């Protein structure tokens, strides 16, 4: 069972890395730099969701949303520690 979970994590990370590259290739970074942060995040999240949904990836809606949020955080320089501290702050 541990090997299956390890494989699934590895496969998930590979899918995430591939999608991340595709999204970065599609972004207009110059335009993004001139856009307000909240607006930029919304636009990039929409692009990520569209890209994730266009791929033949066997993930549930919740998994696709998690993947999209992880890529968004990585693009804007906010990795997993940021999400953890946000959850702690909301409690």
The per-type count for the chain, helices as H runs and strands as E runs, is 5, 0
pLDDT tens digits for range 62-75? 888 999 999 999 98
pTM: 0.71
75-87 pLDDT, tens digit per residue, is 888 655 444 444 4
CA distance 12 to 7: 8
Q: Kindly report, residue by residue over 5-51, the tens digit of the pLDDT.
A: 664 778 888 889 999 999 988 888 788 778 888 888 999 999 999 99
Count of the separate structural domains present in the chain: 1
Question: What is the domain extent for residue 53?
Answer: 2-90
Q: Specify the pLDDT at position 87.
A: 45
**Which of 63, 60, 74, 86 has its CA nearest to residue 27?**
74
């Amino acid at each position: 069972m541990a090997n299956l979970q390890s494989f699934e994590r590895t496969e998930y990370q590979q899918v995430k890395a591939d999608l991340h590259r595709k999204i970065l290739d599609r972004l207009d970074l110059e335009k993004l730099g001139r856009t307000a942060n909240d607006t930029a995040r919304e636009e990039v999240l929409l692009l990520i969701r569209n890209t994730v949904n266009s791929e033949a990836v066997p993930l549930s809606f919740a998994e696709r949303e998690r993947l999209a949020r992880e890529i968004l955080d990585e693009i804007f320089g906010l990795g997993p520690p940021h999400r953890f501290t946000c959850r702690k702050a909301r409690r």
